[in-house]
Amino acid sequence: MRLILLRHGETEWNKSFRLQGHANSSLSERGIAQVKAIKPILAQFKPQIIVASDLGRVRQTAKIVGYKNAHFDAHLRELNMGDWTGKSKIDLLKEQPEYYKAWRAGEFTPDNGESWQDFCLRIKTTLLSYIKKYPNQDILAIVHSGVIRVVCHVFLGIATDKLLPVTPATLAVFDVDENHNLKLEAYNLGAFCPDIDVAD
């Protein structure tokens, strides 16, 4: 079976390098174009099970690719960034560079936010539950860049600083064996070239 992860398209907050977390920002015009471009590539996979984060930018992405009736699950949301939600990555790097770098390394949690460790456990538990519930069926999960980074880290053991940023509206594809082990088939698969690092 395959686990296919689709990141949502670029949002207005992505364009301005603002951290979104559990907040919502609509897809930008470029983001809508990105999602439309990935649709024919995604269609080739013909996934049987469709799940998605319940946040607005993912719902918008799901509708464009033809899965408006996906199972929307709050457990597939992006990392909760707490008091940093809505803040500019550029401002944080200027004003709190050590904290920002520590946060990116999973060693710091903003006030009222979710720790990297808790986020990893949430995503691992949620995706494993779907994998076990739907054996031998290809699963598409429409999610966020942080979720894709977690899967690569938790299931493949790849340090997040060894991963390229996840390009908006691209696919990460994993082969899943009978013991629920994952192997990476594709990363940043899509119609657009890898983008600059954007704040999800």
Would you list which residues are annotated within the binding site for substrate? 7-14, 57
Asked if residue 21 lies in contact with residue 79, where contact means CB atoms within 8 angstroms, the answer is yes
Residues of the binding site? 7-14, 57
Alpha-helical (H) ranges within 44-198 are 56-64, 89-95, 97-104, 116-133, 145-156
Sign of CA dihedral 180, 67, 74, 21: positive
Query: What is the signed CA dihedral for 180, 107, 144, 142, rounded to 10 degrees?
Result: 20
CA-based nearest residue to 52, from 121, 6, 85: 6
Tokens describing residue 101 = 């770098």
98: enclosing H helix or E strand: helix 97-104
